[in-house]
Amino acid sequence: MTTWFETVAEAERRAKRLLPRSVYLAIVAGSESGRTLRDNVSAFDEIDLAPHVADLPATRDLSTLVLGQKLALPVVISPVGVQAIHPEGEVAVARAAAARGTAIGLSSYASRSIEDVVQVNPMTFFQIYWSGSRAQIQERIERAAKAGAAALIVTLDWTFSHARDWGSPRIPERYDAATVARMTPQVLTRPRWAARWARTGRPPMLTVPNMRTRGAPAPRFFEAYAEWMQTPPPTWDDLRWLRRTWPGPFLLKGVGRVDDSLRAAEAGFTAISVSNHGGNNLDGTPAAIRVLPAIAAAVGRDVEVLLDGGIRRGTDVVKSLALGASAAMIGRAYLWGLAVAGQTGVENVLDILRAGIDSTLLGLGKASVHDLEPHDVLVPDSFARTVNTFDNTTTR
C-alpha cells in the first residue's frame, strides 16, 4: 500500500490544508475553552510505558472480541455525523474498516444510510440518540435490525453546548444561492476539495437518511437536530425500555462516572464507552483516560468497557487496554484520513494504529493485547479522577 502519511498528526495537517476553514473547524469542534478537548489528547503523555528487553514475543496477536464481533485489532470506528468531508463519506469509512478487519459505528446523523453501510461492512454498530417519541425511536431500531446492524449504540454524552472561544463555524442548513455566495470564497481557496465534489455533480449532502420516518423524506441535519433538542432527556427507565427493545449487543456511550457505569450494568447494557464526546460537550470534564481505571475496576467484569477520546497513536490504545478497556474508539483520527484520501486514508490511519499497537506490545513483552495489565504502564499519583459513588464528591 502507498504510504500517504506516517502519523495521525500528519494526516490532520494535510486535512487542514485541503478542507475549507469552516469544514476543518467543524471537525475540531471542542466546546467552550477546549480544555477537555486538549486534555483528552495530552493526558496520554502523562502515562509512561514499562518495557522489557529480553524474552520478547516474536509474534503478537492484536485480535479481540467487541460487541460480539471478532476484530483484527482493538480499535473501533466511533460514530460521527454527516461525514460530508468526502463524497463517499461513511461508505468509504465502512469499506476501510472492513478491509482492516474492524467495526464501524454509524451515526443516526450519517450522510449515508444504514443499508448502504451494512452492505459493505456487516460489522456495523448503529448509533441512536434519544430523539422523538418512543414510537419513532423504535422504528429506527427496527430499521437497523432489518438492515443487519450487529449492535446498537446510544449516545448520551451531549448537552447542546455550542459556545466556542475560538468561534463556531457556520454549517449551512441547505444549499441555496445565499449559502453558495457565503461559502464560495472559502471553497475557492481549497480547489482540490472543490474539484473532488465537482466531479460528483452534486454538493455535499446535508440530509440524514437514518432519521427518516416512515412515509417522510430524509430530514436535513438541523431539522433532525431540532427534534433531538426538543426531546426531554431519557430516564433510566427509558434506557431500560430501550434495552428491551434491542435484545442484542448494546453499548451506552458517554459514561464518565462510576455510579453511572453501575446503573448501566444494572439496566442491562452489554458495554459502555467511557467518553466525553471528544471534548465537544461539557467543557471542564476530565479526559476519558483519567476516569477509565475506576470505571473499569467497578464494572469491567460485568460489561465491556471501551475508551473513546484522544486516541492518536497505537501507544494510546495500549495504555487504554492496560488500564481496563477492551478496545478503543477513534473519531477525529479517521476523519483526517477520510478528508485526505477517502477509503485509503482511513486504512492508512488504521495501519498507523495497528503498527503502533504491535510495536508497543513487542516492547512490553506481550504476545497478545489480552495480556496487558496495569503494571505495564506507569501512572502518576495525580493522574486519575474518580467520582465517589457514596458521598458524590470528586477526589484527585
DSSP string across 281-308? SSTTPPPHHHHHHHHHHHHTTTSEEEEE
Please report the pLDDT score of residue 388 as a whole number. Answer: 58
- Number of Cα atoms under 13 Å in the Cβ half of residue 92: 24
Which pairs from 354-359 meet CB under 8 Å and 24+ separation?
A: 354/62, 354/73, 354/75, 354/100, 354/314, 355/314, 356/313, 356/314, 356/315, 356/317, 356/318, 357/62, 357/73, 357/74, 357/75, 357/314, 357/317, 357/318, 358/60, 358/62, 358/314, 359/314
pTM confidence score: 0.93
Rg (CA), the chain: 20
Residue 301: CB atoms within 10 Å: 9
Please report the pLDDT score of residue 294 as a whole number. Answer: 96
Catalytic residue among 52, 277, 370, 375: 277
Residue 203: CB atoms within 10 Å: 15
With cell 414510537, the residue in question is 135
The one-digit pLDDT tens for each residue of the chain (396 residues) are 455 899 999 999 999 999 988 889 889 888 889 999 999 999 999 999 999 999 999 999 999 999 999 999 999 999 999 898 999 999 999 999 999 999 999 999 999 999 999 999 999 999 999 999 999 999 999 999 999 999 999 999 888 777 888 777 666 666 565 666 677 777 778 888 888 988 988 878 788 999 988 878 889 888 888 898 999 999 999 999 999 999 899 999 999 999 999 999 999 999 999 999 999 889 999 999 999 999 999 999 999 999 999 999 999 999 999 999 999 999 999 999 999 999 999 999 999 999 999 999 999 999 999 999 999 999 999 998 876 554 444 443
Is there a catalytic annotation at residue 277? yes
Contacts of 279 (CB under 8 A, 6+ apart): 30, 31, 34, 35, 36, 37, 38, 39, 40, 309
State how far the Cα of 342 lies from the Cα of 18, in Å rounded to an integer: 12
